[in-house]
């Protein structure tokens, strides 16, 4: 099968022929239909987050089940599915307390002594984040996917596999935004726009979008933003505090930078909660004014929207089908696998929300 392989940090992905194994116990072979090009792919490709190489990239995808291994009960051949990088074991402390996105069990991967799922000329290829969806097929644990209704458009479904769940989930699951509250979202890429959409679904009374690109701020209004702040023209912290008479109840950082993470905390009112969604590079520290903690302001992280994806993703599909979740507007273009490097460069520029690789 064809796949986009990262062999060296900072270098373009290479389209290569690779071999994929047959499903064993609890494994599912999926024919990839669509894969979103996500900023997390860029973070790993440029070395901000180390990963073993060579690896087949990609982690935001949808597809159709082709074959299942023994003991698989959740899906069957022909099912339409969304994949999720936060594969879970189902019985560790995190899973049993409802925090499946935190599960770090290696049970969802093959044992070191077993045949690799992905190989090339008998040499192992590393699977990226339990998925490797920049490929014509995926071989994954059954706890890394969920069945969805057949009439859900597959390109839209792919976005739910990471960016949408990360953004909407951070609002609903991690921060638990209350109806009528004030919200600020810093960064209006795919994740930030999804957080804005999630805040609207949660019933936030005022949603302030912060970005430096006027086109993204206009798009944010489509997703539910009631106000916008151009951080290239004004100090976003001062602007948000002034607009809300003291700061917001909830803020969300959806870029992954030291300065914006600190801004998300500074724009809170007393008792406010800042949630950092963006992937701040390894080795980066953020600084807070200690006295601000006396006002019961707090800052927290969110991994993949604190998802319970077997439950959350079908619900998000229903939100889309009901017109509440805006996925059509997230897709800037459909591309081929061979265009993946251009898409990643475009994503780094910060000008587009999502390009989606289509395999059919």
Cβ distance 295 to 94 under 8 Å?
no
Q: Is the model's pLDDT at 360 over the cut of 80?
A: no
To the nearest whole percent, how much of the chain has pLDDT over 90?
Answer: 95
Beta-sheet pairing, 55-56 with 123-127: parallel
E strand map for 38-79:
55-56, 61-68
Cβ distance 2 to 136 under 8 Å?
yes
Give per-residue burial for 140-175: e unless 16+ CB within 10 Å, then b.
bbbbbbbbbeeebbbbbbbbbbbbbbbbbbbbbbbb
Upstream peptide bond of 54 is cis (omega within 30 degrees of 0): yes
State pLDDT tens for residues 102-123: 999 999 999 989 999 999 999 9
Domains in the chain, start-ordered, CATH in brackets? 2-147+327-358 (3.90.180.10), 170-303 (3.40.50.720)
- Specify the 3-state DSSP secondary structure of 271: strand
Cβ distance 263 to 186 under 8 Å?
yes
Task: Identify the band that residue 349 occupies on the pLDDT scale cut at 50, 70 and 90.
Answer: confident
Distances (CA, A) of 222 to 156, 184, 330: 17, 16, 10
- Specify the 3-state DSSP secondary structure of 163: helix
Enter the tokens of residue 254.
């959806």
Residue 351: the pLDDT is 64
Q: Which residues are catalytic?
A: 38, 40, 43, 59, 162
State pLDDT tens for residues 297-321: 999 999 999 999 999 999 999 999 9
The DSSP code for 177 is P
Query: Burial level of 123, CB count in 10 A (0-12/13-18/19+)?
Result: exposed
For residues 191-197, average pLDDT:
97
Cβ distance 63 to 138 under 8 Å?
yes
Task: Identify the band that residue 352 occupies on the pLDDT scale cut at 50, 70 and 90.
Answer: low
CA 141, 144, 148, 153 torsion: positive or negative?
Answer: negative
| Averaged pLDDT score across all residues of the chain | 96
Task: Identify the band that residue 126 occupies on the pLDDT scale cut at 50, 70 and 90.
Answer: very high
For residues 277-288, average pLDDT:
94
For residues 99-104, average pLDDT:
96
Residue 353: the pLDDT is 63
Count CB neighbours of 52 within 10 A.
Answer: 10
């Amino acid at each position: 099968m064809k796949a986009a392989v990262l062999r060296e940090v900072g270098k373009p992905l290479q389209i290569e022929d690779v071999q994929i194994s047959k499903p064993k116990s609890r494994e599912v072979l999926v024919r990839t239909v669509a894969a979103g090009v996500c900023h997390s792919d860029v973070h790993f490709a440029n070395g901000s987050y180390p990963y073993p190489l060579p690896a087949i990239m990609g982690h935001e995808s949808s597809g159709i089940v082709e074959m299942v291994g023994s003991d698989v009960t959740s899906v069957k051949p022909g099912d339409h599915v969304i994949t999720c990088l936060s594969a879970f074991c189902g019985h560790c402390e995190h899973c049993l307390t409802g925090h499946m996105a935190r599960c770090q069990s290696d049970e969802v991967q093959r044992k070191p002594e077993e045949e690799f799922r992905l190989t090339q000329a008998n040499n192992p290829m590393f699977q990226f984040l339990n998925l490797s969806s920049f490929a014509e097929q995926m071989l994954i644990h059954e706890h890394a996917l969920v069945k969805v209704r057949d009439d859900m458009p597959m390109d839209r479904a792919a976005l739910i596999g990471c960016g949408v769940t990360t953004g909407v989930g951070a609002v609903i699951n991690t921060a638990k935004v209350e109806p009528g509250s004030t919200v600020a979202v810093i960064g209006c890429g795919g994740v930030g726009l999804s957080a804005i959409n999630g805040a609207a679904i949660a019933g936030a009374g005022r949603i302030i979008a912060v970005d430096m690109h006027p086109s993204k701020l206009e798009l944010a209004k489509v997703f539910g933003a009631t106000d916008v702040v151009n951080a290239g023209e004004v100090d976003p912290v001062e602007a948000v505090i002034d607009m809300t008479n003291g700061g917001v109840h909830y803020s969300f950082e959806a870029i992954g930078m030291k300065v914006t993470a600190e801004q998300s905390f500074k724009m809170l009112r007393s008792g406010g909660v800042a949630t950092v969604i963006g992937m701040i590079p390894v080795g980066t520290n953020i600084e807070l004014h200690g006295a601000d903690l006396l006002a019961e302001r707090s800052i927290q992280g969110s991994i993949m929207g604190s998802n319970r994806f077997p439950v959350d993703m079908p619900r998000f599909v229903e939100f889309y089908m009901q017109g509440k979740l805006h996925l059509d507007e997230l897709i800037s273009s459909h591309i081929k696998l061979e265009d993946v490097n251009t898409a990643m460069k475009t994503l780094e520029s910060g000008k587009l929300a999502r390009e989606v690789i289509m395999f059919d």
